[in-house]
A and B are shown apart, each in its own frame.
Chain A
Amino acid sequence: MIPAAFNYHRPDTIEGAVKLINEFGDEARVVAGGHSLIPMMKLRMTGLSHLVDLQGIGGLKGISVDGDTITIGAMTTQHELIVHKQLSSRAPIIAEAALQIADPQVRYVGTIGGNVANGDPGNDMPGLMQCLDAIYSLQGPSGQRSVPARTFYEAAYFTEREEDEILTSISFQATGGGYAYEKQKRKIGDYATAAAGVLIEKDGDKCSAASIALTNLADTPIYCEAAVAALVGTALDPGDVGAAVKAAVDASDPSEDNRGPIEFKKHIAGVVIRCAIERAIERA
C-alpha cells in the first residue's frame, strides 16, 4: 500500500500541464481528486514517475449555464455537482447519479473529469454522460478538440483521449422531461452491480425523445440505441417498456466478478433498467 517514488508537479495553467505531460510522455499522469489513481499507485499497479496535479489550475473548476448549454469544468468535484442549485434544476439526473457514487468523503475530492477520463467501466459518470449525450473538451499540444461521450470509450481504461491531452470540460444540453439514474450495489462505496441512466420526454401521450445508457455492464459504458428506438414514438405501454428493457439487456455484456456471474448481472440489468425507465416515465 505504499506507492513507488514519483515527482510531483503543480502547474497553474492548462498549457503548463499539457507541456509537462507532453515532456514526460507515458511516465507522467495528471492527478485530479486522486481517488482512482492513488489507490492504483499504492497497489503499484500503475508505475509512473511524474504526477501532474491539476488542483492549481483555476480555469478547470466550476459549472456554467448558458441558455440550454451546461458546461462543467473537469476539476469540479462530485460534491459540487450535488449542491449546485441550477444544475439540479436543469439536469437533475446529475445529482441523482452523483449521490450514488461512493460516499461523501470521496465525493468531496473526486472530480467529474477524473471520473469520466479514468475509463474504468465501474465509474458512474461515463454512462451518465452518454445518457446526456455530453461532449468532452480535450486540450493537447496541438490545441483543443471535442469528442462525444458516446464515442469516447474504447475498452476498459482505453479512451479516445491521447496521453498528452487533458480533459478540460464537459458540456451538454439541459434536460426536460423525466429522468432516473438507478444503481444496484452491494454497499455504500461499491461500484455498480448494474446501473442505468434514463431520460424520457413526452409529447402528449407519446414518447418524443429518450436516452438510455448503462454502467458496469460491459468494459465500457453502453449507450443503448436499440432500446431508445423501442421507446421513441410509442405510448410507453408496458409492452414498449419491456421491448426497451430487452434491447438494453441484449446490448449489455457484463463479466463475472465478486458481485456475481453473468447470468445474474444480466438479470439485475433488466431489473435496474426497467426501474429507471418506469421512474423516468413517472417523472416525465
Chain B
Amino acid sequence: MNEMIPPKAERSAALKGLGTSRKRVEDARFTQGKGNFIDDLKLPGMLFGDFVRSPYPHAYVKSINTDAALAVPGVVAVLTAADLEPLGLHWMPTLAGDKQMVLADGKVLFQGQEVAFVVASDRYVAADAVELVEVDYEELPALVDPFKAEIKGAPILREDIADNLEGAHGARRHPNHIFTWESGEKEQTEAAIGEAEIVAEEMIYYHRTHPCPLETCGAVASMDKVNGKLTLHGTFQAPHAVRTVASLISGIAEHNIRVISPDIGGGFGNKVGVYPGYVCSIVASIVTGKPVKWIEDRIENLTSTAFARDYWMQGKISATKEGKITGLWCHTTADHGAFDACADPTKFPAGFMNICTGSYDIPTAYLCVDGIYTNKAPGGVAYRCSFRVTEAAYFIERMIEMLAIKLKMDAAELRRINFIKKEQFPYQSALGWEYDSGDYHTAWEKALEAVNYTELRKEQTQRLEDFKAGATRSLMGIGLCHFTEIVGAGPVKNCDILGLGMFDSCEIRIHPTGSAIARLGTISQGQGHATTFAQILASEIGIPADDITLEEGDTDTAPYGLGTYGSRSTPVAGAATAMAGRKIRAKAQMIAAYLLEVHDDDVEWDVDRFAVKGAPERFKTMKEIAFASYSQEIPGVEPGLEAVSYYDPPNMTYPFGAYICVMDINVDTGIADIRTFYALDDCGTRINPMIIEGQVHGGLTEAFAISMGQELAYDDMGNVKTGSLMDFFIPTSWETPNYITDFTTTPSPHHPIGAKGVGESPNVGGVPAFSNAVHDAFRSFGLTQSHMPHDHWRIWKIANDLGLHDK
C-alpha cells in the first residue's frame, strides 16, 4: 500500500506551490494579443468623451462657448463646470484630503487641465468638436519653482482655499502652502549634528517623473436607467475604493455601483487616483443614458494624470571620525502641483518618507516635509514605490555617499559600519518604524564579493591614472546601494485611505471535484497575481495551482480590499490568501478525521492530504475531502468548503537589497555605458523565482530610465517640455542594461508565509545605484552632488564644470 503513495517531493512538485518558477498563466492571452483591456471594451450604443484642455499653466477662464462644438453632427453634449455644479461634481475630493476641479471652475492651474468634456458618437467626432470649443482665457503668471511659492508677490494658485489656514494635515502658513509634516526629534538631532566631528550637508533633488504605463488611463461608465445600476469599467488599481468614493461623491448607493478593473496594462501608481475622466464619463452616462468611454492619449497621460517624485531634500548627516553615524536631518520641499492628489495613507502626507534612515542604525533623526502648490499637474503617486520610499532611499543613499566623501572613506565600508545588525531586529528606527527583520551584512558581503569589489576599485584607480595621463577619456563609476523598503500598507491602526483601512482580503471556494476559485481585493496590472496567489494557495491547501482560478477586480464578486500599489498585494492580500487557505485546511481536517474515523487531532497534514498520524497509508486527499464536503452529511460541520479572510497586517514588511552598478562614462559625450548591474534582493520567502526575476528586471529598467534620462520637465513659464515619448525617456531593449540577479532569504516573522513583496524594490534601489555610479566616477575630481536625470548633457556638464574638457 505504502509504495502506492507518491513521495512527498513528487506530490509537492505537482502542486506548483511556493518556490516554483511556474509559468505565468496570464501570458497565454497577453502574448497572443487576447487580453481584455479597457479600450477593448465596446458596449452597444457607446459614446466617446474627450477633453478640452488648458494650453495655459495658470489663467482665469472668462467664458466657454460650446455652440460650434455642439453643432458638429454626432456631438451629444459638451459638459463644463457649470453643468457639473448642480450635481456637486465640478470638484471632487482627492485621496490626500484636498479637492480637485473636475472641470475648470473659473480658472485653470496647470497646462493640460480639463476644461470641458465633449461627448460624441465616436472618438473622431469628439476630437473634432474639442477643437471647436471656444475658451476665453485671461493668462496669469505661473508659479513653477516651489521655492518661490511663498515670496512676496507670488501668484496665489488656490483662491478657493486661500483663506483657509487649516488644511487636511494641519496648519497652512501661506495660500500656496499645503502642509508641514514632521517626524522625529528636531532638537536632539540638531544637537547631535551640531556637536558632531563630521557633517555632510547637501540638497538632493529627486526630479519629477511619471509612471507612464504602457496602457494609459481610461474608463467606460454605463448607467442603466432601468435598474438604477452604474457599472464603471476602468483602469483602477483600487476598484473597491473607487466604488466607495464614487458612491460618496455621486450619492448613488454603493450596492448600485459595480466597478470592474479589466486587464490593466501597467499601473505603477498612475492608476491609483481618481481622475476627472472617470467622473465625467459617469456624469455623461447618467445624462445621456448611454455607455460613455474615455481613454487618455499619451500626451494626456504624461501631462495630466498622476506624476511621481518631485522632492527637494535638504539633508545633513553627522558622524564620528571613525564613521559611526550620529544623526540625520532632512527638510523636504515637496512640489505637489495644483491640487494635493497624492495617494498616501491619510496619516502620512509625505508617505513613508520617514523610512529615510534606510538600512542604518541612526540614533537620532528629524524629518520635516513642506507640501507646496505649483502650476503643475497634480499627483505625487508612488511610482512603483511604497509612498515616497523611493525618495527616502535615494536621499539616504546619496547622503551616505556624501558622508563617505567627507570621511575620505570607502562608501562600502561606511555602510558596513552603520548597518543595523542582524541581532538588532526587530529594530526600532529613530523615525518610528519597527523593522521586522533583516540581515544586511550577509547580503552586502555577498554582493561585494559577487562583483569582485576590491578588484573593481583597483581597476578604477588605474583608469583614473590613465585618464589623468591622457590615455583615455573614459571614467569608471561604481554605484553602491543598500536599500530598505517599507511595504505592505498596512496595519489598519495607522494606515487608511479616505478612512478605509488598508487591510486586504481573499475568498476561496473549493469546488466538489477538488478544484477552486479564489477572489482577492487586489488587482494585477502585470504582476502575475493569478499565477503567484494560486501558488500560495496550492501550498496551503494541497490543490495544484493549475486547478485554482484566481479572480480580481470585480467589486460585485471580489471581497473588499484596498487594491494593488505600494507592493502591498503579497504582504497583505497574499497573507489573506494564506489565512483563508488555513481556514479551509482546518475544516478539511475535521472532515478528514471524520472520514478516517479518528479524532481531529489524530490526523496530520501531508502536502495534499490528511493522513492518520503514524499510519500514512490511511489518508484522505484534498480532492476526496472536497467531494465529501459536498456529498455527505458530516455531523457538526456545515456542507461546502469555503473560506474568507480579511487580513489586517500586524506590521509592514521590510524587504531589502544590495545593488551594485558599474559604468564607464565618456566625459566628452556624456554617454554612460552600464557594464554591470548586480541586484541582490531579499524579499523574504520567494513565491515564484521567475516572477521575482521578471519584476526585478522591469523595476531596474524603470530605475535606469528615471536616473539616466526620464523626467517630466517644465519650462519657466509652466509649459510641459517632455509631453511625449519623443522626449520622455522610455528605454528600448537596446539601451537597457543586462542585469545579474541574486538573493538572500530573510522571511518576515509576522507574515503567514514569510513573504515581503518585491515588485518595487528594484525601482527603489536601482535609482540610487545608477546615480551613485555617475557620482562615483567623478568623486576624485571633487563632485559631491549633481541632480538627476543623468542624461548625456547633464553628465557632460559635470565634466565641463569640473574642468575636464579642454577649452
Contact = CB atoms under 8 A, between A and B. Distances in A.
Interface of A: 1-2, 4-5, 44, 103, 184, 186-190, 193, 258-261, 263-264, 267-268, 271
A264 B797 contact: yes
Given A1-B298, A2-B124, A187-B734, A259 B729 contact: no
Interface stretch (B192-200, B225-233, B720-728): B720-728
A261 B793 CA distance: 8
Nearest to B797: A264
A236 B698 CA distance: 48
Interface string B116-159: 00000001100110010000000000000000000000000000
A188 B793 contact: no
B71 to A, nearest CB: 15
A271 B669 contact: yes
Contacts of A258: 713, 721-722, 727
A65 B330 CA distance: 69
Nearest to B666: A271
Q: What is the interface of chain A mostly: helix, strand, loop, or mixed?
A: loop
Contacts of B721: 258
A254 to B, nearest CB: 12
A265 to B, nearest CB: 8
Interface in B725-740: 726-727, 729, 731-732, 734-735
13 contacts: A1-B298, A2-B123, A2-B127, A5-B124, A186-B729, A187-B732, A189-B732, A258-B713, A264-B792, A264-B797, A267-B796, A267-B800, A271-B668
Contacts of B67: none
A277 to B, nearest CB: 15
Given A44-B131, A189-B732, A1 B797 contact: no
Given A2-B127, A5-B124, A193-B792, 14 more contacts: A2-B124, A5-B128, A103-B732, A186-B709, A186-B729, A186-B791, A187-B732, A190-B726, A260-B793, A261-B793, A263-B800, A264-B792, A264-B793, A267-B805
Contact of A1 (B297, B722, B791): B297
B793 A259 contact: yes
Max chain B Cβ within 10 angstroms of own Cβ: one of A184, A186, A188, A263: A186
B299 interface: yes
B128 A4 contact: yes
Interface string B763-807: 000000000000000000000000000011100110010000100
B628 interface: no
Contacts of B298: 1
Given A103-B732, A186-B791, A258-B721, A264 B796 contact: yes
Interface in B152-177: none
Interface string B539-560: 0000000000000000000000
Nearest to B123: A2
A186 to B, nearest CB: 6
B671 interface: yes
Contacts of A271: 668-669
Nearest to A191: B726
B602 to A, nearest CB: 66
Interface string B204-247: 00000000000000000000000000000000000000000000
A106 B800 CA distance: 36
A263 B791 CA distance: 15
Max chain B Cβ within 10 angstroms of own Cβ: one of A103, A188, A258, A264: A258
